[in-house]
Amino acid sequence: MNMFLENANALKKMEIFVRNSWAIPILFFSFISEPTVAAECLPYEPALVVLHGKIESSESYGSPGYGENPEKDATESYYFIKLVEPICTQGSSDDPENQQSEDDIDEIQIIWNNAGKFKGENVNISGTLFHQITGHHHTKVLINVRELRK
């Protein structure tokens, strides 16, 4: 008889738990859906990413004033990839140089000596992203190229 009461009590507790646990799936799915949004944004280095787009070039003001005094500032040529679709980046609080997240990025400066050979070409670039740091960085996000394919 004692075992019967224990089983009945256990079943009652399970019934109460199941009846009151309707919120568990909602909480579970709300937690797993949040990273999905963040996962769409690309991470900064050291993660390897692949970008698709067309190699183009541009000029921007350089030293000494980087556009503050155009008559005296040098101009710098640089290559960038014009992306097929804009991306966003996910900043990292662990990396002081790459803390800033960015949205709607459609041009990324290319850090690679051979980029000029591919000007006007549609390419796939694999490499690591980093946020602009110096006046020589002319886009908010740049890529250190590991591999480029037409």
Concatenating the DSSP letter of every residue in 47-64 gives S-EEEEEEEEEEEEE-TT
Taking residues 22-38, report their average pLDDT.
43
Whether pLDDT at 147 is above 60:
yes
Q: What pTM value is reported for the model? A: 0.73
Taking residues 55-77, report their average pLDDT.
93
pLDDT at 89: 97
Secondary structure class of 86 (helix, strand, coil) = strand
Q: What whole-number distance in Å separates Cα of residue 42 and Cα of residue 128?
A: 10
pLDDT at 93: 93
